[in-house]
Amino acid sequence: MTQTLITHSEAETSAVGRNLAASLEAGAVVLLFGDLGAGKTAFVRGMAEGLGVAPGEVSSPTFTLVQEYRGGRVALFHVDLYRLDDPREIDELGLDEIAADGVLVVEWAEKLPRPGADALEVRIAHGDLDVRVIQINYPTTQLPNYPIHSDR
């Protein structure tokens, strides 16, 4: 199932992430796709809030590769693969093990050697000005219990 949402601000993009995260449990994997500046980190801030983690703690993990946020109902592991090109380096991160302990969200997921069949795919594209088109592709094993929507 695919759901397409249009947001008109960073706050609305975050709200989509927050609403999605409210339905996720430990072991969930969310793969993020989108150009630089598309709103991936804003989406993750919303996810953090939906999991009970302070969204202000979330920053892009471009240099550390993996940020771990605890204190919510489940841990959030935020991975950014932007700087990695070698599939062996990505394998060495141990993402399979990390995913079992919380919700794993991966920016630049197109670099993953094996994306995983049960992962949710979130594609964020720029529209005009602050408009974002967010497409959420649910695996058949993880259909949402309720519609995900922005606060607009």
Tens-digit pLDDT profile for the chain (152 aa)? 899 999 999 999 999 999 999 999 999 999 999 998 899 989 999 999 999 988 777 776 556 678 888 888 999 999 888 877 666 666 667 677 776 789 999 988 888 877 677 899 999 999 888 899 999 999 865 545 444 444 44
Has residue 150 been placed in a domain? no
User: Who contacts 152 (Cβ-Cβ below 8 Å, separation ≥6)?
Assistant: 7, 8, 12
Q: Residues 130, 133, 136, CA angle at the centre, nearest 5°?
A: 140
Whether 149 is covered by a domain: the verdict is no
**pTM for the whole structure:** 0.84
Is residue 107 within 8 A of residue 82, CB to CB? The reply is: yes
Assigned domain for 110 exists: yes
Q: How far is CA 84 from CA 7, 27, 87, 88, 112, in A?
A: 29, 23, 8, 9, 10
Q: What is the CATH number of the domain that holds 134?
A: 3.40.50.300
